[in-house]
Structure 1
Amino acid sequence: METQVQTATHTHDPWAATHQVILQPAIMDPKQRFYHHFLKSVTVLQDLIDGLPSIASVGGERQEAIDHILASIAKLQNEVADAADYTPSYDRKQYSETIKTLQDKLNETITRIAPKSKFQFRRAKTNHVDMGAPENDPRLNPGSHSRAKHDAAIITGIANSLPTNKEDTLSELPSKEAYKNYNEEMKRPSPSSIRKPSFSAAKNIGISNHSNLHIILPSSASRATSSGSLTDLEGCIIDMSIPTTEGSAFPGLAIKNVSKSLIVGGRVNGAVHITGVSDSIIVVVARQVRIHECSNVDIYLHCGSHPIIEDCSGMRFAPLPTPYRTETEELDENQWDQVDDFKWLKAGHSPNWTTLSENERLGDDLWRSVVPGQPGVSVEEALKKLNIPRK
């Protein structure tokens, strides 16, 4: 059976193609349904990117088109994360790589058509993953669907164009002349372990592949909070509270592959996805928190819904520390201790999580003195003061 597509036609809407409603066969399971939705979204986004050079740059029309594409990519990325309950991890890796390549294609197009003297653009955040080519997965070649065949070929072409440089990470960019590489800047040798990257030339915050660094985002990063991601970090302190308090909150935040670190994630209007974190402390304000494959993590949290854990152990929860609270947190309900363990189906409390008593929680003085950095104190010494890793 062919997948049917209905298009809601809007005469005055230049983005009518993105308002398509896909009618899937009733027997199609959620995984297949999302797969077809993803393919259709990728096709639409490719067409929009290809059409950018034909849009006039005067009157803000081209910038409006670029902003629309960025928002659509971010939405698709969030949909991939939200579909984690019914999509295999290998599929999610393929989806993430395809999104990453869409972002690369958008950046390359923008660089080609924009006056270099006036514009600088950065790649939106994405979770960097290692994967095989999509054509190797039979699930991405549903032979009975002619439209799906066409779309699968599109994804194959995208994946084949991925960079092979192992140093290519989620916010490292292909051209220093066109973009500023903040990850590379933070890696440069310095007498101090403290880094304060401005992210003033960025639209997104992506911090990856660091160890033994104390990274504090200043207020200048407040314009770069359209998305956020932290990946592959060890023995680090990351504080993103300032830009998300003084500026806009992240619409979504991804934290992945982090060990022996403190992460102050700031404020997130949507969901926080925490995956593969161990022996660490996380502080965050969010509407939704989903935690997968984590161990021995203390989470200081203000959450507007039940936090969700899956395949986790040794998780401990506490309310948001006083130094990070605002009037908003004082007024809104905090469900930090209403944790749902999706892998614990028996009666009684899950053994995989507990709450921290007041005596076990870090004191306000530590949050105020250690997290902002102290002269002559190394990252390792600061982490010990914060009891990272747990004794």
Structure 2
Amino acid sequence: MPSSAPSGANQMQNEVISQHKPEISLKDRFFRYFQHEITALQEQMERLGDTALIGGERTDAIDHCLAGIARLSSEVKDASASIPPYDQRIYANAIKALQDKLAEARASFAPRSKFSFKTARKNPSAISLADAAEIAAQGRRHIPGYRSNDNSMQSSASPSPILCSTSMNDRLPSPQQEASAPLEAPQELQKSDTDKPSSSVSGASSVFVSSHTGVHIVLPTSASHATVPASITSLHHCVVDMTVPTADGRPFAGLVIKGVTESLLLCGQVDGPAHITGVKHSTIVVSCHQFRMHDCVDVDVYLSCSSRPIIEDCSNIRFGNIPEIYAPKSVDSTQPNLWDQVQDFKWIKVEQSPNWSIINESEIVPHDVWENIVPGGPGASVDTILKSVKVILS
């Protein structure tokens, strides 16, 4: 059979070629997947304006975009072991650009609000959607850096957080008054003219509360459209309740707290890390996957955490289990709650760190206080609430 030899030779040649054919790395495979997904999401957002309002079709389309962005962000985190740090930053910037573009689209669809809080300052590190689209056009293993611009800003679009003045004889200040006549802040919180009171529920971009004194702020249910990062900064003598938006299983993506004194912070549920820096004489209630605290003094933390909490450069920090009223409702029963397994990174001795302790049972805030006084109402001023949770003395 004269044809058998050439056939065998061809087969051997093909095997040699296949052996030398380079395998596609995990990094390159993920890049191709990412560029396909980000292109698809951009196309979905471009079609939002043509989607009918009848029957909630546009709302469903927006929710689908939000879910796609959240899923893509989660997949980037899951693949981080096989992606170089540089590429991770590029992917994160591309996702941020998509979030900003979707927030802008949602704001354009919403009815114009009669009032709004101050628009957040522009983020100079955000990239435009055109830059994000470049990731879909680049077919290289190393993606060139993106130019920075300031074309992206967080929107103060409706709905706005509710600022409650809960004393018996006070009237609820108008949002215009709250924005134009900020209350006097203590000297350590007065930084610049740009640090004026501001609070925003900014669509798919972020949620922030900043630069307030002596107010009770409650985020509305309508702030729960997406899993977005949240921040609380530069507060004194305040009560902030962010639990309502996350009560239905839509946690914040992450939480940053910085520069807070003499306040009660009800932070709700956080799907990722909670970073707390420079908090003094306050109480924090939060459910999160990671908890890290820096440079804090005299803080009570009521916590649910699936990893060991970490403190650093802190003193007189007391931990307690999260009150039942604020505990996550849909937590897997097998998921641990390590609220009391605290690690002090600045204490290397075998003995117990003197910088943290467990709240004595006799000093734990009672359930009826969380349920009846903390939410506010007639006769419940900010002072009343802060005294009830022992932030300030009676």
User: Do the aligned partners of 1:193 and 1:379 also contact (CA within 8 Å) in 2?
Assistant: no
| 1:359 lines up with 2:362 in the alignment | yes
Alignment CA distance shift 1:68-1:239 (3 Å): closer
Q: Post-superposition shift, 1:262?
A: 0.8
- Tell me what 2:228 maps to: 227
- Tell me what 1:262 maps to: 264
Distance 1:200 1:244 in 2: 13
User: Do the aligned partners of 2:276 and 2:294 also contact (CA within 8 Å) in 1?
Assistant: yes
User: Do the aligned partners of 1:309 and 1:339 also contact (CA within 8 Å) in 2?
Assistant: yes
Count of paired positions: 310
Distance 2:295 2:327 in 1: 28
Q: Given the alignment, which residue of 342, 351, 373 partners 1:370?
A: 373
Gaps of at least 5 residues in structure 2 are 1-24, 114-119, 127-139, 176-199
Amino acid aligned to 2:312: E
Gaps of at least 5 residues in structure 1 are 10-15, 21-43, 121-127, 135-146, 164-169, 174-178
Q: Secondary structure at the match of 2:227?
A: coil
Question: Greater CA radius of gyration, 1 or 2?
Answer: 2
Q: Post-superposition shift, 1:252?
A: 2.8
- Tell me what 1:32 maps to: none
Alignment CA distance shift 1:217-1:231 (3 Å): closer
- Tell me what 2:69 maps to: 70
User: Do the aligned partners of 1:204 and 1:224 also contact (CA within 8 Å) in 2?
Assistant: no
Distance 2:224 2:298 in 1: 33
| 1:6 lines up with 2:28 in the alignment | yes
TM-score (norm 2): 0.59
Amino acid aligned to 1:180: S
Alignment CA distance shift 1:317-1:105 (3 Å): same
Deviation digits for residues 154-193 of structure 1 (CA, Å, limit 9, x no counterpart): 2x33x34356xxxxxx5x43xxxxx31515x749998147
Deviation digits for residues 255-303 of structure 1 (CA, Å, limit 9, x no counterpart): 3223221112223344333333322111122333232333321101122
Alignment CA distance shift 1:62-1:275 (3 Å): same
Distance 2:173 2:384 in 1: 12
Q: Post-superposition shift, 1:358?
A: 0.8
Amino acid aligned to 2:287: V
- Tell me what 1:29 maps to: none
Alignment CA distance shift 1:302-1:314 (3 Å): same
Alignment CA distance shift 1:204-1:372 (3 Å): farther
User: Do the aligned partners of 2:122 and 2:150 also contact (CA within 8 Å) in 1?
Assistant: no
Matches within 5 A, 1:32-47: none
RMSD over aligned CA atoms reads 5.1
Distance 1:303 1:293 in 2: 20
| 1:334 lines up with 2:344 in the alignment | no
Matches within 5 A, 1:288-327: 288-325=290-327
Matches within 5 A, 1:151-162: 151-152=144-145, 154=146, 156-157=147-148, 159-161=149-151
TM-score (norm 1): 0.59
Distance 1:292 1:259 in 2: 14
Distance 1:65 1:330 in 2: 25
Matches within 5 A, 1:276-287: 276-287=278-289
- Tell me what 1:206 maps to: 207
Distance 1:356 1:276 in 2: 21
User: Do the aligned partners of 1:223 and 1:248 also contact (CA within 8 Å) in 2?
Assistant: no
Amino acid aligned to 1:107: A
User: Do the aligned partners of 2:160 and 2:201 also contact (CA within 8 Å) in 1?
Assistant: no
Distance 1:133 1:340 in 2: 33
Alignment CA distance shift 1:97-1:18 (3 Å): closer
Using the aligned pairs only, state the percent identity.
29
Amino acid aligned to 1:7: R
Distance 1:334 1:271 in 2: 15
- Tell me what 2:130 maps to: none
